[in-house]
Amino acid sequence: MYYDTFDSPVGEIIVVANDEGICNIDFQDSPCPLPIDPSWQQNPEPCAEAKRQLLAYFAGELKQFQLPLSPQGTDFQKSVWKILASIPYGQHTSYGAMAKQLGNPGASRAVGMANGRNPISIVLPCHRVIGSNGKLTGYRGGLPIKTKLLKLEGIKL
């Protein structure tokens, strides 16, 4: 596993990659920073394209990421993250709507928990998921970062 960190408009970001793709993108200036495993090697090269695309996103120059992803999770989590990947830039959905897409309308809390375990922030845009009442709900990076990301994309709540 390789990692690199860089500064962004929402604070320090960490990118973690393996030989198959990006495993984690997280906010280090958040309530729950990603702990750096001692076995990981700091190496900017495997993370360089993710960094480039993220900085282009923050500059308003990129609306769709093209990165090889290698998230680790349960089958249910991966099905939720697949739906996250389909939410277009500048749009939002709710946990309930995602549960309906999965064919289980009563699973909105489980969808919320899977969103909370999303290891690839921004690229798998869990910040675009809000409560069915239109209110912002939890975000592992913190609600201030979620708000900044939504504003960047022109989403008004």
CA distances from 134 to 33, 97, 141, 154 (A): 27, 12, 19, 15
Whether residue 126 lies in the annotated active site: yes
Q: Residue 49's closest CA among 118, 145, 123, 115?
A: 123
Kindly write down the DSSP assignment for every residue of 137-149, as one continuous string.
---TT-HHHHHHH
Active-site annotation holder among 23, 32, 47, 126: 126
Any idea what DSSP says for residue 123? Answer: T
In angstroms, the CA 144 to CA 116 distance is 16
The CA radius of gyration of the chain, in Å to the nearest whole number, is 15
Active site residues: 126
